[in-house]
Amino acid sequence: MLDRRETIVADLADLLPPGCLVSDVRGLVPFETDAFIAYRRVPLAVALPETTAQVAAVLKYCSRYGIPVVPRGAGTSLSGGAIPQEDAVVIGLSKMTRILDIDFPNRTATVEAGVTNISISEAVMPEGFFYAPDPSSQLACTIGGNIGMNSGGAHCLKYGVTTNNLLGVKMVLFDGTIIELGGKALDAAGYDLLGLVCGSEGQLGIVTEATVRLLARPEGARPVLFGFSSSEEAGACVAEVIGSGIIPVAIEFMDKPAIGICEAFAKAGYPMDVEALLIVEVEGSEAEMDATLASIIDIARRHGVTTIRESQSATEAALIWKGRKSAFGATGRIADYICMDGTVPLSKLSEVLRKTGEIAARYGLRVANVFHAGDGNMHPLILYNINDPEDAARAEAAGNDILKLCVDAGGCLTGEHGVGIEKRDLMLHQFTQADLNQQMAARAAFDPQWIMNPSKVFPLEGRPTA
Amino acid sequence: MNIDFEPQTEDDAAAIVRAAAQRSARLRIQGGGTRGICAAIEADAVLSTRKLSGIVSYNPAEMTMSALAGTPASEIEVKLAEHRQMLAFEPMDPRGLSGATGEPTIGGVFATNSSGPRRLSAGAARDHLLGLRFVNGEGIVIKSGGRVMKNVTGLDLVKLLAGAHGTLGLMTEVTFKVLPLPPASATIVLSSLNDAEAAGAMARVMSMPSEVSSAAHLPESVRGRFISGRLPDGPATIFRLEGLPATVSARAEKLTSACAVAGPVTVLEDQDSRALWREVRDVKPYADGTERALWCVSVAPTVGHQLVAALRLETGVDAFYDWQGGRVWLRMEADPEADLVRRFIKALGGGHARLMRASSAVRAVTPAFEPETPAVSVLSARLREKFDPKGIFNPGLMG
């Protein structure tokens, strides 16, 4: 493939408008990795098409010559979903950023795949609407990437993740065929191909347009900080809140190291004298929020809460969320880290937290925990030094142990970041080979040549031989 | 048709499927056989999951339940109600429409992605299905998903199997999310709007932060058949509020004053409110013991009434609207008019129509599921071949 590099670059240049192909060495460097910085591979070329037809032309060309393709949104994947390989053409959607249609009576927005997550909400905010899934990277990440990874966010406890808020897509298959799935209706006909595509990590095709569901903004929202003197107490409080039938919009958890890191960065006023912090957000009218909070406070008191702090203003509320959402970036200022993403049943939260700490200690590593507690989606951040190969190896080994711990507790490897490269070789810990064979068979129905983001998700051993 | 196979364990089920695949014997897969969708299936034998029955695990504090596929949906709803929980997507009881007498099963609920009025706010059955075990067409047991709320590990076969009507695999066990049963329910009834005005009113209400869980419009032709005629005179545009009693009454007050500019408003409290939505869910007006063709149409919410108006110029129809107008229950006076219905849906921006009930003569010549575009139907056929290479599951169903 690399021998043919010049021919491929010349051919792609013919398929794309000027300025839409990157092939020089320096220009390719920004595409060598994503937010999973542990791996880097410079791709063969990067196509930045402006239209669905151009995406189709590039895919048709690549499939004809068996060239691997790696789709890319903003490159914010934490699992290496957008990391290329040397013999691959990256298709980046960063030039497809138009909002095509906003339909308030039907509460839908149709946008090109390169539109950022936040800009959908921004576009509809003046009319009192929002788009619910809110990954922490929402300022940068694209809706196409969100669909690829079925992204979540802090508020999906109430509103669901991407797949629950996606109504339709236009996408290009491996051979350049353009198809449309779903639309403005709540249910689509036939097999739920939309559900299969969402979270398929760019292996079934490239989404170029999406129709998403808009929701009316709640009257008000109020995040409240609850400090505890142990992680166990905080975990038990979460389980009881959920068990009591109250579903707040969000319940976020931070342990002491995470509180320190986020407070130093955001100055959000987090209490520094607690071992564990919950951010609980409630919504509705003032009276509703008061009533819901009163019930939550009762429960928190039963679990030994030491600090309760309600945000007194919109600015304060925004700061509380800024601290939480910048957790990964703030951690990046003090150390390199890998971020785990396992989900566990709520009843196992405390146990898994404790064992996570034990695993980190065994490897001599520091770990900070900051995660979506309401749905059991954990994010231990393992701190290490990327320039020390031994430290990096230890961090990776610790991460693997933590993910296996999540699976063994009845959970899964990844709740919202995706398998990517990072967790590919752990898949057999969660699935049998027969389970994976069935998934790969479904994949093959879309991409029989196995050229779409080929080195991701499925262990390299045990793949079907064409 | 008589039931030929009633496996009692997943292993039994896998063995039966393996043997059938070897002989290329076509199987009709059913749960309780209550949905009246089997007429088009050409099978050599019938396999029912109803003996694969029982709740496997239920943890109210985690809001998840696992059950064998043949477990009666009613058993599950009773168990959940004991812990003040529910299936939030509100699956219908299909027996009113089909006239069948068996027990709807939880496997049937998910295999048909059956969702009721609360689908508008809470999502469909497929949104609540967290994991499943199934036997594929080669008799191999496969698991997908899990029992946690957030899970993006691998391809989401759970979504694919939900709504596949047993054509991709025989579900043996399902794990799903449950939600708290709202302690209070109230319904705002806005009377006197025609279909088009109702569509506008529903869109306006859904754009308010009032957390309406369901919105439907019951034209004058059907209004009297709900809650024994206790709805006020005139067409009824109805909005459901659910939650804590204080919350519901505060929102009801606000919504009432917002609606009052459009027409007379009545509020239905707990009992009547719950009964009304149960009847909307079960399509009460058309659960009339007849075999008159009934379509379930899914379109953009503001398009539903336009479709009905266009059809009225060509043929005799009666209709009411759920999901803010985007789900149309469409009963044909005579001919099913499949081509006409589908042509108009396409012309109005797309969606689909599924034939929910018809005489066997009509079913024999009318595709119950919306025909797919050529490129998508190639994908569907390939997928089916990957899950069921011998084509033994429910042949003839779903395209």
User: In sequence order, what DSSP letters do the residues of A121-179 get, joined into one string?
Assistant: HHHHGGGTEE-----TTTTT-BHHHHHHHT---TTHHHH--HHHHEEEEEEE-TTS-EE
Which residue(s) pair with A215 in the sheet?
A: A130
Domain with CATH 3.30.70.2190 in chain A: 221-326
* CA angle at B75 for the pair B74 and B78, rounded to the nearest 5°: 85
Instruction: Flag if A216 and B209 touch (Cβ within 8 Å).
Output: yes
What CATH number should be reported for the domain whose range is A335-423? Answer: 3.30.70.2740
Instruction: Flag if B155 and A239 touch (Cβ within 8 Å).
Output: no
| Separation of first and last alpha carbons in chain B | 22
Whether the pLDDT of residue B38 is over 70: the answer is: no
Whether the pLDDT of residue B74 is over 90: the answer is: yes
Pick the CATH number of A221-326 from 3.30.70.2190, 3.40.50.10090, 2.60.40.420, 3.40.50.300: 3.30.70.2190
Q: What is the pLDDT at residue B39? A: 63
Q: Does A463 touch chain B (CB under 8 A)?
A: no
Residue window 158-177, chain A: list those with CB within 8 Å of chain B: 160-161, 163-164, 173, 177
| CA–CA distance, A168 with B383 (Å, rounded to integer) | 19
Q: Provide the residue ranges of all domains of chain B, joining segments of one domain with +.
A: 10-180, 184-281, 284-365
Chain B residues close to A189, C-beta within 8 Å: 298, 352, 354, 369-370, 372
Does ipTM come in above 0.90?
A: yes
Which residue(s) pair with A383 in the sheet?
A: A337, A366
**Residues A184 and A167 sit within 8 Å (Cβ to Cβ):** yes
Comparison of pLDDT for B61 and A404, the residue scoring more? A404
| CA–CA distance, A17 with A13 (Å, rounded to integer) | 7
Domain with CATH 3.30.43.10 in chain A: 2-92
Whether the pLDDT of residue B282 is over 70: the answer is: yes
A16-21 contact pairs (CB < 8 A, 24+): A16/A47, A16/A48, A16/A49, A16/A54, A16/A57, A16/A58, A17/A50, A17/A54, A19/A48, A20/A47, A20/A48, A20/A49, A20/A50, A20/A54, A20/A95, A21/A45, A21/A46, A21/A47, A21/A48
Which residue(s) pair with B28 in the sheet?
A: B46
The single residue listed with the structure tokens 């003032």 is: A286
Instruction: Flag if A445 and B206 touch (Cβ within 8 Å).
Output: no
**Residue B39 CB burial class (10 angstroms; 0-12, 13-18, ≥19):** middle
What CATH class is the domain A2-92? alpha beta
From the list B140, B144, B379, the residue facing A446 with the nearest CB is B379
Flag the least confident range among A191-195, A375-379, B158-162, B274-278.
Answer: A375-379
| CA–CA distance, A236 with A323 (Å, rounded to integer) | 24
Q: What is the pLDDT at residue B260? A: 96
Smallest CA–CA separation between B261 and chain A, in Å? 19
**Residues B65 and B73 sit within 8 Å (Cβ to Cβ):** no
Q: What is the pLDDT at residue B343? A: 97
Chain B residues close to A187, C-beta within 8 Å: 113, 115, 124, 298, 327, 352
C-alpha B174: how far from chain center:
17
Which residue(s) pair with A278 in the sheet?
A: A226, A253
Please check whether the domain covering B184-281 is classified as CATH 3.30.70.2190.
Answer: yes
Domain with CATH 3.30.70.2740 in chain A: 335-423
Read off the pLDDT band of B399 (50, 70, 90). Answer: low
Chain B residues close to A435, C-beta within 8 Å: 142-144, 154
Instruction: Flag if B302 and A285 touch (Cβ within 8 Å).
Output: no
In CATH terms, are B10-180 and B184-281 the same topology? no
Tens of pLDDT along chain A (466 residues) come to: 778 999 999 999 999 999 999 999 999 999 999 988 878 999 999 999 999 999 999 999 999 999 999 999 999 999 999 999 999 999 999 999 999 999 999 999 999 999 999 999 999 999 999 999 999 899 999 999 999 999 998 888 899 999 999 999 999 999 999 999 999 999 999 999 999 999 999 999 999 999 999 999 999 999 999 999 998 899 889 988 988 888 899 999 999 999 999 999 989 889 999 999 999 999 988 888 998 999 999 999 999 999 999 888 888 888 888 888 888 889 988 899 999 999 999 889 889 999 999 999 999 999 999 988 988 999 999 999 999 999 999 999 999 999 999 999 999 999 999 999 999 999 999 999 999 999 999 999 999 999 999 999 999 998 986 5
Whether the pLDDT of residue B361 is over 60: the answer is: yes
Lookup: tokens for B287: 């659960």
| CA–CA distance, B333 with B330 (Å, rounded to integer) | 10
CATH fold for domain B10-180: 3.30.465
Q: What is the pLDDT at residue A3? A: 83
Q: Which of B383, B199, B390 is nearest to B305 (CA)?
A: B199
CATH fold for domain A99-216: 3.30.465
Q: Which of A178, A425, A264, A107 is nearest to B205 (CA)?
A: A107
**Residues A237 and A299 sit within 8 Å (Cβ to Cβ):** yes
Residue window 285-314, chain A: list those with CB within 8 Å of chain B: 285, 287-288, 291-292
Instruction: Flag if B160 and A442 touch (Cβ within 8 Å).
Output: yes
Domain with CATH 3.30.465.10 in chain A: 99-216
The model's pLDDT over B103-140, given as tens digits with 9 standing for 90+, comes to: 999 999 999 999 999 999 999 999 999 999 999 999 99
From the list A190, A414, A439, the residue facing B155 with the nearest CB is A439
C-alpha B115: how far from chain center:
3
| Alpha carbon separation from A342 to A212, A277, A339, B98 (Å, rounded) | 26, 20, 10, 44
Q: What's phi and psi for B341, nearest 5 deg?
A: -55, -45
**Residues B85 and B177 sit within 8 Å (Cβ to Cβ):** no
Strand order in the sheet with A89-92: A21-22, A45-47, A89-92, A69-72
Rounded percentage of chain B residues whose pLDDT exceeds 90? 90
Q: What is the pLDDT at residue A374? A: 87
Pick the CATH number of B284-365 from 3.40.50.720, 3.40.50.920, 3.30.70.100, 1.10.8.50: 3.30.70.100
Q: Is A100 helix (H, G, I), strand (E, B) or coil?
A: strand
| CA–CA distance, A26 with A413 (Å, rounded to integer) | 35
| CA–CA distance, A212 with A169 (Å, rounded to integer) | 9
**Residues A289 and A249 sit within 8 Å (Cβ to Cβ):** no
Run of H or E including B75: helix B73-82
Run of H or E including B204: helix B195-206
Q: What is the CA radius of gyration of chain A?
A: 22
Strand order in the sheet with B55-59: B55-59, B64-68, B170-177, B129-135, B141-145
Instruction: Flag if A152 and B150 touch (Cβ within 8 Å).
Output: yes
Instruction: Flag if B300 and A184 touch (Cβ within 8 Å).
Output: yes
